[in-house]
Structure 1
Amino acid sequence: MSKSIYDILKELLVDTFRYPSQIKDLQFDPNFAIRGLHYDFNNGWLMKIDNMANIQLNTVHVGREPIRNKNEVVDLHRGLHIAPDYLRNNMFQLNDLFSIPQACILSDVLQYFRENGISFHPRYLCDDVSHAARILHIGSRLTGMGGRLHASINKDIAKYLDPSPKLVEYLQHLRKGGKKTFLMTNSTLPFIDVGMTYLTSSPDWRDLFDCVIVSAGKPDFYHSRRPFRRTREPTWDAVQRFEPGEVYQGGNLNDFSKLTGWSGQRVLYFGDHVYSDLVDPTVQQGWRTGAIIHELAEEIEIRNTPSYRHTLSWLLRLEQLLKEAQSYDEHKRPDGLRGVIEAWRAERACVRLELKIVFNRHFGSVFRTHNNPTFFANKIRKFADIYTSSITNLNEAPQDYVFYPNRTYLPHERVVESLIDTGKVGHTF
């Protein structure tokens, strides 16, 4: 799908926004970008930042190349921390499922302009790509089939989706357990019908849900007062209740809660977009939320390999050795210790780079900088009660299972509480 999005975006840039025709010759590189990167409007820098808005300096790219003079970044921000005002007014985060092809087209076009001596402003480029992305998704109201991406997917649905009997099994399991289920999407009914029919291997996919809402218009859905409408029959009556097997469009969160009686923490709502799916349901109705993050499966697989665990173990040991070596009284340090410390610091830098490129050689892990969660991962932690690579993973847990959060340590708590966790410190009564 990312390649299809990339190809449509470059066609729109040439055909609609009058970019050079050579842009159509650009080729999508699936290994270049990751989700959650930030684009600097003023400088054209693409980078990864952590949960405290600190820049991971070895991820800053201009076009397809690492920035040559990293001091430019440090000088601009007087360090590596991005001030809140600058982050809010001058940077754009690419955090949804379509962000990888969008990041790639931004970088590839910027690279093309630089190599061909074409004067440009990075903000114009970002605005044009964002506008093209909206066109890609917006379809004709007359056909109801969605944008160019939807049309491309429907032509060859098997290229983009695999049938998911596990999903059908999970939904049926929920309903047999007395749970209510609903589907709420911004996509149109014709598009959803094609996709869900293929995904569930049944034209009766609507029977898996107590309520189906299409063309919801999230995130406006959570704030508007727009009424629901039926989709399959041309009626103009107000919707007073949700009928089994019917599909509704539009609507708003308050009416949805009133019509269903579903509200508060009894509702667990899953989505794949932080801002469109997860923020407002929590704030407006107190729903529990779950994030579907597809990249999680690959990252967990990498982290479970013996080579990764060995490298991480060596990094942690190196850092412990450095702490201990630096603790020596400056006047009592053994001869040669300073050189050993410098060698360990250099080794640490190499190991940290190795742990980065195993995920993505340009930007590293989607979820972690060196020590901290990424800005993207922090949003997931803030607005999602649970996150997983696939909703069907929950079929492995009993329906009454409670997921308790892990305790997080402040720096001054870590030593004692780590000892307690490992059983090295006990309690006396």
Structure 2
Amino acid sequence: MKTLFNSNKQEFFKKLCSAKAIGFDLDFTLVRYKRFLHSRLLFDCFSKYLVEKKNYSKQLLSQTFSPEFCVKGVVLDTKNGNLIKLNQNKQIVQAIHGNTNLNLTQLVETYGPTRELAGFDGSKTEKYWTVSTYFELAAGCLYNRLVSMNDKEDFHNKRKTIDIIRDLKEAISENFFSEFTGSYYPSFRDNTSQYIHDNSESLVELLEYFKKRDKKLFVLSNSLPHYATEILDSLIGKHWKDYFEVVMCKSLKPKFFHPTNSQSFQNYFDPNMTKGKLFKGATTRFGNAKELMEFLKIKKGEDVVFFGDHPISDIRDSKTLCNWTTVQVEEELDPEANEKNERYSHFRNGREKLWGKYLTCGDELSYWGSQISKYSDYQIPSIAHFVKILNQNNNNSLL
């Protein structure tokens, strides 16, 4: 796996030098969240919805967020109520059910002698729901908690595990897919600085660096427009539009990249804009990669470098469908990660004690480690880390 921890720094800088456009996902790419506090907020918001709207027991509201029971990269087996970890061959190497770590005999009894998830490609399905980002980490932890509670005879309104995931999906939808429902957005807006790191200095430095070198910059996010623009206001200031050719929100990645996708761009702040007609400084929703490339006047996908954190929606499909040069932003790569005042060391150590590393299974790659290795051209821990590396290289003379 290529990373900026090894000797390919020069190769990466040369690629940036030749690139005509550089794009960024928003969440966990441009924006770095305080993972423990942010996940706890999500856990509480989802729990509140389930109690108030789906008639789950009020004892759920007294449950605390326990991050060690789920890690990014696990797959929820919604039929059996298990959380499972896969190796690079899609073989189940570990599983837990509630508080119980399943042994090899139990794995074979449940999944067969090969323990392989044949046909699984990392996408969310009715049977397998993937925890692909840190946004979903709280949902995975909550699902595990709900399964554990549901197994008890005294659990109010006992449910099938497949129904639990459906209810949880509704909780996620209520809190994420509308800025005017749910409790997440109001809570986040009231205490934004509590949930995101202030990386504004390094972020502005990087954007200035690229703009001085005539790179066309853009944001391509699945986040909702008001949420995205408020975060950009907070991190960069009201002048953030000066840096980007276009900021695309609610883009419906990975559909955005598919060659058959013809969904039109819509200017979020001016609904009367002619559909599909992008202009410099626009903030849009929906859209498609073909029209973006035409707007940027770029014919070859390899001339676009795209930074993102989602192995499927950001990296795999932009690489395979558009041939963009891809940069996986993966905080798990940072050996010095330390989030002060939020028990991050305990958070990380507890997870690794139970699940091991996100990118590996012992001496081999995990399923997600193999996907990141296969589809991302480069990997970095964070934008701030990348800026630090940039500044260490001959006073930025490489580009």
TM-score class normalised by the smaller sequence: 0.7 to 0.9
CA contact (8 A) 1:214 1:250 kept: yes
Residue aligned with 1:269, SS: strand
For residues 62 and 385 of structure 1, do their structure 2 counterparts lie closer, same or farther at Cα, with a shift above 3 Å needed?
same
Extract unaligned runs of 5+ from structure 2. 1-37, 338-347
C-alpha distance after superposition, 1:82-129 (max 9, x if no partner): 140588874332112223211110111111122345453222212221
State the number of aligned residues: 338
Equivalent positions of 1:7-406 (< 5 A) are 7-57=44-94, 60-67=95-102, 70-85=104-119, 90-118=127-155, 119-139=158-178, 148-164=183-199, 165-200=201-236, 202-223=237-258, 224-243=261-280, 245-262=281-298, 263-297=300-334, 300-301=335-336, 360-395=352-387, 396-397=389-390
Partner of 1:327: none
Instruction: Please give the alpha-carbon distance, in whole angstroms, between the structure 2 residues aligned to 1:38 and 1:189.
Output: 29
Task: Work out the percentage of aligned pairs sharing the same amino acid.
Answer: 21
For residues 184 and 146 of structure 1, do their structure 2 counterparts lie closer, same or farther at Cα, with a shift above 3 Å needed?
farther
Report 1 or 2 for greater relative contact order, CA contacts < 8 Å, sequence distance ≥ 6: 2
Instruction: Please give the alpha-carbon distance, in whole angstroms, between the structure 1 residues aligned to 2:105 and 2:113.
Output: 9
C-alpha distance after superposition, 1:350-403 (max 9, x if no partner): xxxxxx97762211111111121111211211221112111233332468969x
Partner of 1:338: none
C-alpha distance after superposition, 1:288-327 (max 9, x if no partner): 1111112222xx238xxxxxxxxxxxxxxxxxxxxxxxxx
Task: Flag the structure with higher strand content.
Answer: 2
CA contact (8 A) 2:92 2:117 kept: no
With normalisation by structure 2, the TM-score equals 0.77
1:259 Cα deviation after fit: 1.2
Instruction: Please give the alpha-carbon distance, in whole angstroms, between the structure 1 residues aligned to 2:128 and 2:277.
Output: 44
Residue aligned with 1:2, SS: helix
Instruction: Please give the alpha-carbon distance, in whole angstroms, between the structure 2 residues aligned to 1:232 and 1:93.
Output: 33
Instruction: Please give the alpha-carbon distance, in whole angstroms, between the structure 2 residues aligned to 1:89 and 1:227.
Output: 28
CA contact (8 A) 2:174 2:181 kept: no
CA contact (8 A) 1:161 1:199 kept: no
Residue aligned with 1:61, SS: strand
For residues 12 and 89 of structure 1, do their structure 2 counterparts lie closer, same or farther at Cα, with a shift above 3 Å needed?
closer
C-alpha distance after superposition, 1:179-235 (max 9, x if no partner): 2211111223321222111112x2111112122222222222223212223233352
Instruction: Please give the alpha-carbon distance, in whole angstroms, between the structure 2 residues aligned to 1:89 and 1:15.
Output: 24
For residues 258 and 121 of structure 1, do their structure 2 counterparts lie closer, same or farther at Cα, with a shift above 3 Å needed?
same
For residues 365 and 152 of structure 1, do their structure 2 counterparts lie closer, same or farther at Cα, with a shift above 3 Å needed?
same
Amino acid across the alignment from 2:382: S
For residues 171 and 147 of structure 1, do their structure 2 counterparts lie closer, same or farther at Cα, with a shift above 3 Å needed?
farther
With normalisation by structure 1, the TM-score equals 0.72
Extract unaligned runs of 5+ from structure 1. 303-355, 403-429
CA contact (8 A) 2:75 2:84 kept: yes
Residue aligned with 1:217, SS: coil
Amino acid across the alignment from 1:166: S
C-alpha distance after superposition, 1:247-290 (max 9, x if no partner): 23322111111111134101011111122212222222211111
CA contact (8 A) 1:39 1:91 kept: yes
For residues 357 and 138 of structure 1, do their structure 2 counterparts lie closer, same or farther at Cα, with a shift above 3 Å needed?
closer
Instruction: Please give the alpha-carbon distance, in whole angstroms, between the structure 2 residues aligned to 1:137 and 1:101.
Output: 13
Partner of 1:315: none
CA contact (8 A) 1:14 1:21 kept: yes
For residues 64 and 401 of structure 1, do their structure 2 counterparts lie closer, same or farther at Cα, with a shift above 3 Å needed?
farther
1:32 Cα deviation after fit: 3.0
Cα RMSD (Å): 2.6
Residue aligned with 1:98, SS: helix
C-alpha distance after superposition, 1:142-200 (max 9, x if no partner): xxx68642332112111112332001101111111222211111223321222111112
Instruction: Please give the alpha-carbon distance, in whole angstroms, between the structure 1 residues aligned to 2:228 and 2:120.
Output: 39
Instruction: Please give the alpha-carbon distance, in whole angstroms, between the structure 2 residues aligned to 1:180 and 1:393.
Output: 22
CA contact (8 A) 1:162 1:199 kept: no
Instruction: Please give the alpha-carbon distance, in whole angstroms, between the structure 1 residues aligned to 2:326 and 2:40.
Output: 30
CA contact (8 A) 2:245 2:282 kept: no
Q: Which has the larger radius of gyration?
A: 1
Partner of 1:345: none
Amino acid across the alignment from 1:124: D
Instruction: Please give the alpha-carbon distance, in whole angstroms, between the structure 1 residues aligned to 2:141 and 2:360.
Output: 21
Instruction: Please give the alpha-carbon distance, in whole angstroms, between the structure 2 residues aligned to 1:10 and 1:93.
Output: 19
